[in-house]
Structure formats: C-alpha cells, structure tokens
Structure 1
Amino acid sequence: MTVMQRLRGLALAGAVLLPAGAASAEPVKFEFWYGLTGDLSERIQEMCQTFNASQDQYQAVCTSQGDYEAALQNAIAAFRADQQPTVLQVFDGGTADLMLSGAFVPAGELMSRAGYEVIWDDYFKGIADYYAISKGELYSFPFNSSTAVLYWNKDAFARIGRTEAPKTYEEVEAAARALKEAGYACPYAYDVDPWQFMEQFSAVHDLPIATRNNGYDGLDAELVVNRTRFVDHVAFFKRMTDEGLFQLKEYGQARLQSFMKGECMMMQSSIADHGTVGKTIAPGTDWGVALLPVWEGTERKNSFVGGASLWALAGHSDEEYAAAAAFFAFLAKPEQAEWWSTVTGYIPVTNSGYEYMQDKGFYDEPPFAGREVAIESLTYTPPTANSRGIRLGGYPQIRKEFRDALTGILAGSTGVQEGLDAAVERGNAILRRFEKTYAGKTLP
C-alpha cells in the first residue's frame, strides 16, 4: 500500500469518528477565515460547499477577510472580543507571530484528539520545514502552497533563435538584449515584492537573509541581506532597468497583465498564477515556466514555499475542534489536492497528492503542463539553513520596509547600498521590538 493510499484511507476512516448522536443533531458550525479574494475566494467557497455537502455532521462557515495581513489582524481583534474563528489561514510571514502567541491548538494534538492518524512525513520537506518547529513538528497544516518560477514567451524566444528558457542571469541579460533588438519594448517585467525578488533569490543561491539561521535559532536574529550577493543582484536590476531592458511593474497585477497581454516576454511570478495566465493569455500563444535563473557558478538550492497554512485557534469547544479536524482530513485527500491544483494553480503539499496527480496524467494535460516545475524547485535539494525558510517576528512589516526601499532604489531616489542599509536598520528595529515583546520566550 502506497503512502498515498494509506493517507487516503486514514482520512476517509477518520471522517466517521464522530461523537455519539452527532448524526441526528444539527450540524456543528465552525468558522474559517481566510485572506484570499477574487477567483481564489470563489474557489475557497466552492471547497467549503463541497465539504459541507460531503457529510451532515459539520458545517464550515468560510469568510474572506480581504488579504493575508487583514485576516491575521482581524483574528487578533476578534480574540479580544472572544469571537475568533476556529480555523485561520496565516501566510508564511506570520508564522513566528502565531507560534509565540500561544493562541492555537497544535495540529498534531487537534488530530489525535479527534482520532485521526496523520502521516506527517508525507508532506514535502521543503514545505513542511518552512512551517515546522525546531523538533520538526507541524503546528499548522500547509495549505495553499506555491513558489516562484520564470514565465517566458516561447514565441518571442523563437524569433531570436532560442528554444530554452534562460538558466542564468547572464543568459537573461543576453536574451533581453536580443529581444530588444528584435523589436520587443519590454523583454523582462518585474516587481520588488520581497517574497519573489529577495527571498527566493536568497534561497536558491544559499544566502542568509538574517543571522541565527534566518531566525529559526533565536529571537535575537539580525538582518544581513545588505551584506550578501543580493546587493549586486539589485544593482544588476537597476542597470538593466536604466537601459530599458527590464521594466518595473509595481502596482497591482501590472507585471502579470503585461505578460498575459504580450507586452513583456519574461517575468518572475508565483506558480499560483499559472492558471490565470493560461486562461487569459491570447489563444495560441506558446509560453512556459522554468526554474528561476541563478548567477553562473551557483550551486542551486531549493526555493522557498509561499502561500499559507491553516491554524486551529484556541478558545473553542471540543465539537468545533472535531469539526476542524474533519475539515483538515477532507483537505488531505489526494482527490482534493487534484481539484485544488486544477482550479487555482497551487501545488499539492504532500507526496501522496503529487503521486496521485502524476498517476492520473495531470501534468501531461496542456492546461497544467509546467506546474511540476514548482515541485522540482521546492525539492531541488534538501533544505539548508538558508533555504529552509524565514522565522522572523514582525516579518510582514519587515517585508514592507524592503519593498519601499527597493522601489526607491529602482526609481533612482537612493543608492543600492544606501537603500538596503536603511531597510536593514529599520527591519532590525522591528526585530528588536518583537524580541522585547516576547522577552524570556524562545521559538519552539
């Protein structure tokens, strides 16, 4: 029996472990708050409806809170009024804040209490390690997971005599120059979202973002990204932008739209955008995705996972926790992983889900071909201290500091080193405030 079959059987078996009399009572309702909007919010609603229709003991009440940060802040406010949801979607950057809050029921405890056995080793290591505590235990369930990849217009590359995506940034520059000479006004579109622009670059190049193993080893970590090769990388993007070979697309979905409209020929973006590109780009356009480029001479490492995980929050009844456990078991089914990947572009988070989809030929279908590149990227190597993840308190605010700084650098309002030094100084101030708030505590 494969790991996938075992997990599938356990999830189905667990679904019938209900309190006595539950079948004849009104369904136990529980709230699930999430931070997605638009089409992704509609897919969450569809997922919740499917769960509710699959049994009559529990009912998920699923509500969008806007974006990730709003979901987290709204949950904090709800705690003060004792109105917090049972399940909360928390994005990657908020993990340290949740771990130290103590305002949750660990995933393992939740599931064992409800009678479920979870095969924790089934989760992709590159995903699990990002969210796991020092002992490897997961306090939350990885949910919508992605990583960054390079999107490229194969038709445009054919016009310059190239049939493969650039593997290095030296090749990116050469391709950009050839595309410009061929009449393409925008060879490469980008924005400076730190998750894509700074964090993924650091991971695949095995560069630290902060001391103390990116914060995993202590709250006294300090940012060091202004002292790594990332400085030269920013300088490269500044030079290419000044030459008109790269274009900064900084607002909303400008970068994504520029690629889908055929205005820009390359972009770095989340694999979660794969479905949107496929549905929106002009019919007949030949395009694809590839691993992120690295600088020549780099020994590539795995990339970071992005997205969010699901937490069971403290302060609820046993019945609500049983409902949440049943919901998590439902999400763990390989069939559900296939559906979620089909309608969103997010990747499966378990080996069993991936094997199930491979066995069905999912990645051979034209709409989905290429999404396996994200799995390759996340599992390229075993995670190192630098490519495991980021465990820094107040990280949402730190990301904003870097985004503002990078925008200023690329716009020419400040120098590269000067701008990064200032962002690090402000980021370290955030870390020190966080450390003071949790004085005497250590990360689990």
Structure 2
Amino acid sequence: MTVMHKLHGLAMAGVVALSAGAAQAEPVEFEFWYGLTGDLSERIQEMCQTFNGSQDQFKAVCTSQGTYDAAVQNAIAAFRANKQPTVLQVFDAGTADLMLSGAFVPARELMEKAGYDVNWDDYFPGIADYYATSKGELYSFPFNSSTAVLYWNKDAFQKAGLSEAPKTYEEVETAARALKEAGYACPYAYDVDPWQFMEQFSAVHDLPIATQNNGYDGLDAELVVNQTRFVDHVAFFKRMTDEGLFQLKEMGQARLQSFMNNECMMMQSSIADHGTVGKTMPDGVAWDVAMVPVWEGTERKNSLVGGASLWALAGNSPEQYEGAAAFFAFLAKPEQAEWWSTVTGYIPVTNSGYEYMMDKGFYDEAPYKGREIAIESLTYTPPTANSRGIRLGGFIQIRKELRDALTGIMAGTTEVQPGLDQAVERGNAILRRFEKTYAGKQLP
C-alpha cells in the first residue's frame, strides 16, 4: 500500500464545504507542516510571522517535520487522529501519490470559495505543469521551486586558459582535461541523485523517462531510461571518473562542499544552493552558474522544476481553509516572491514575481546575479511531453532504486547496461504495485 493510498483511506469522505466565516475575536489557527530544516526552516518561520503580523484574522502555526518524507508520514499519522494539518508541503516526487489520494482540496476550488481571483496563467508553465493535471489545473501551489544549473570556478578556468562555461558535455570533457593539466586534482564533482543527474538530463535532451508520456497518460507506464541516450551519458561519467577527471561525491553535502572549499572546479546542483555558495566560497574567488550542458547536436529543451508545492488537506474546518487561502494569496504577492528569493536562493514561480524583481534590478546585484539563469532554463522552450515533468506513482522509491544502481555503476560493482536494466526492472515492479493499488483509477 502506497503512502498516499493510506492517506486516501484516512481522509474524511468528501471535501468540507468552504464558506465565509464570521469574524473571530481570536485569530483562526491553521497548521502548516513542512519538510525543511536549518536556515530554510528559519526563513519559513520568519515568513509565517510576517503573514501573521500582516492581518489579525488568521494565525499560521508552522512546524518543521524534519524531512519531506517525514512530513508526509506524519500527516498520515495525524489523519488517523483527525489532527491533520491544513497545509502540507509535498516535494515533486510525491505529486502523483497525492493526486490519487483524494485527501486534499484542489487549489482552484479553495481559492474560488474563499473569494480570491487568481490568475493561474501567471505561473511559469515549466513549474506549473509539474503540479498540474493533464488538463492544466493546479491542485497545489508551487512554493520552493528550483532547477539544476552548472556551477563553475571562473578563477580556475582562467588559469587553465578557459574563459567560458562549457555549453556541451564535449566542452565539459575539454575543460576537465585543461583543469587537470593546470594542476587541479578535481575538475568536476558530481553525485548520482536522479533529480539532477537523470531527470534534468532527460528533460533538456527531450528524452522519455517512462512510457505514457512520463506517466501523465496512464498508471501502466514503464521506465525506459535503460533504452535512451542516458545510457551513453552514464558511460561517459564512468569513463571520466575512471580517468580521474570527475569525482563522485556522494556523502551528504560532499559535492557542494567540495566546490565551496575550492577543491572541485565544476559541479551540477540546484539553483537553491546559490545563496549558500555565495556565503561560503572563500573571499575573492570568482565563480558563476550556467545552464546545464547538453550533448552536441541536441535541440535543448526546458529543464525540470524541483522543490515542493503546498497542498490544502481534506478534513479541516471552513475557517481554516479561509486562513489557508489567505496564506496562499500572501505568498503569491510579488514582494513576497522577492523576499523568498533573496533569503533562500529559490526562484519566483510566477511571471509577475519575476518581472517585479527584474524591474527592481534584483538580478543585477552581486549576491543574486546568476539566479536568473534558472528562470531562463525553466522557460527555455514550452514544455514537451518529456520536459513537463514526471507523473509516476511510487517515484520516491524508484529514485532510490536508480540512485543505488548508479552508485554501483560508478563504483565498478556492475556494468552500465546491466546496472540500469536491473534498476528499471525493480522500478517497474514498484509501478505495477502502484497500478494494482489504484486499479480502476485514472490520473486527473
């Protein structure tokens, strides 16, 4: 039984009707559970305090659950006691599970019944399509959004006789060899996190990850990453690793730390790390970001969004839903988008937020310059069937199978094709269990 199937069984039948509530002497409290920690958790707490101070009708009680997985698991337990939060942060990989659970109030319904007129077309398609139904309706609100970019050390490149970031993987190899020749032991650091290693690669190269348009068209989808150019891409990384030009940095934040410590000169990572790199990189070291490379001859497509969206869970009171709607409207303000991007490194999710920041010269300021590359990457083309997102059930577990296989390949415990074949076989078994769990149902 999947995580969200449990939610389906625990959710109250039907959706609680929303209505305008009478004015309260005390603010109506509603809970917001999220899966971020550390500095990001502190920023969310600050955001909640600002919302609470901006009006006196509602009070958001915002609580970190530690991780994305824990936030979902704790929500399941809370449903059993009828104490589920009103708002839950769910990361991208859990979208299909949530959609089929029935344990939520759709975003459009929530806002309309609370009296808000939302311009849904304002959301960037490259972000909205990941969280939208096949008809384009958003069920949740994009929140902390990012995409992958290439980080590169400009000082090291200059010493190696290079002046620009590589645009192709052929140029990545050339740069890595020049950096090695210039005395840099680690030209390129990477890990095999499927989100940035496989999913971003497949999107920008317009390659399928699964049949049925990456799962959007049916629960009978099957993984195909062992049949696309991704196989050659993995083989390239294995060869570069064996030659000592690339280094696998798998433990915790090892990849990020190696770049910030001026140890490795290139890495692919989330744009959300931009602020952390800026704070941590040694003073005086010049660095920058660029769109992730593609193989020569590729007609580049938009990259995939990462991060999470906010869902209004079923089984709460009409007054709490009014509070949630007010909270979502607050988060959608351009001024709030600017603040969120300033303190975290995440990108605005709407055209209006992005234009507001552009008009103020946000991306011209040194600490934030380069973050616009993520917007350019996400909006590089209109999303295709392969670059709009992934709608696969049990995708959290599938990612783990793929990561384990890729780690084994890079470590030399298995060959490239057999390793990917085995991961796909295990991943497809997860998909078949998910399909059986939701037999007779269709993705919206």
Same fold (TM over 0.5): yes
Deviations along 1:265-284, one digit per CA (max 9) or x if unpaired, are: 00000000000000000011
- Partner of 1:322 in structure 2? 322
- Partner of 2:370 in structure 1? 370
Q: Distance in 2 between matches of 1:18 and 1:320?
A: 11
Deviations along 1:78-125, one digit per CA (max 9) or x if unpaired, are: 112211110000000000000000000000000011100100000001
* 1:144 maps to 2:144: yes
Q: Is the 2:214–2:221 contact (alpha carbons within 8 Å) kept by the matching residues of 1?
A: yes
Q: Is the 2:20–2:319 contact (alpha carbons within 8 Å) kept by the matching residues of 1?
A: no
Q: Which amino acid aligns with 2:334?
A: P
1:73 CA displacement: 1.5
- Partner of 1:303 in structure 2? 303
- Partner of 1:13 in structure 2? none
1:21 CA displacement: 2.5
Deviations along 1:156-191, one digit per CA (max 9) or x if unpaired, are: 000112111000000000000000010000000000
Deviations along 1:220-264, one digit per CA (max 9) or x if unpaired, are: 000000000000000000000000000000011000000000000
Pairs within 5 Å for 1:126-205: 126-205=126-205
1:402 CA displacement: 0.5
1:353 CA displacement: 0.0
1:215 CA displacement: 0.1
Secondary structure in 1 aligned to 2:370? Answer: coil
Q: Which amino acid aligns with 1:109?
A: E
Secondary structure in 1 aligned to 2:285? Answer: coil
Secondary structure in 2 aligned to 1:311? Answer: strand
- Partner of 2:440 in structure 1? 440
Secondary structure in 1 aligned to 2:266? Answer: strand
- Partner of 2:285 in structure 1? 285
Q: Which amino acid aligns with 1:156?
A: A
1:18 CA displacement: 6.5
1:76 CA displacement: 1.6
Deviations along 1:368-387, one digit per CA (max 9) or x if unpaired, are: 00000000000000000000
Q: Is the 2:303–2:378 contact (alpha carbons within 8 Å) kept by the matching residues of 1?
A: yes
Q: Which amino acid aligns with 2:385?
A: A
Pairs within 5 Å for 1:86-105: 86-105=86-105
- Partner of 1:4 in structure 2? none
- Partner of 1:114 in structure 2? 114
- Partner of 2:226 in structure 1? 226
1:20 CA displacement: 3.4
- Compute the RMSD of aligned alpha carbons: 0.8
Q: Distance in 1 between matches of 2:42 and 2:139?
A: 27
Deviations along 1:339-377, one digit per CA (max 9) or x if unpaired, are: 000000000000000000000000000000000000000
* 1:417 maps to 2:417: yes
Stretches of structure 1 that go unaligned for 5 or more consecutive residues are: 1-16
Q: Is the 2:20–2:318 contact (alpha carbons within 8 Å) kept by the matching residues of 1?
A: no
Residue among 21, 25, 29 paired with 2:23? 21
How many equivalent pairs are there? 426
1:74 CA displacement: 1.4
Moved over 6 A (4+): none
Q: Is the 2:226–2:424 contact (alpha carbons within 8 Å) kept by the matching residues of 1?
A: yes
1:19 CA displacement: 3.5
Q: Distance in 2 between matches of 1:223 and 1:244?
A: 31
Q: Which amino acid aligns with 2:92?
A: D
Q: Which amino acid aligns with 2:430?
A: I
Q: Which amino acid aligns with 1:307?
A: G
Q: Which amino acid aligns with 2:274?
A: H
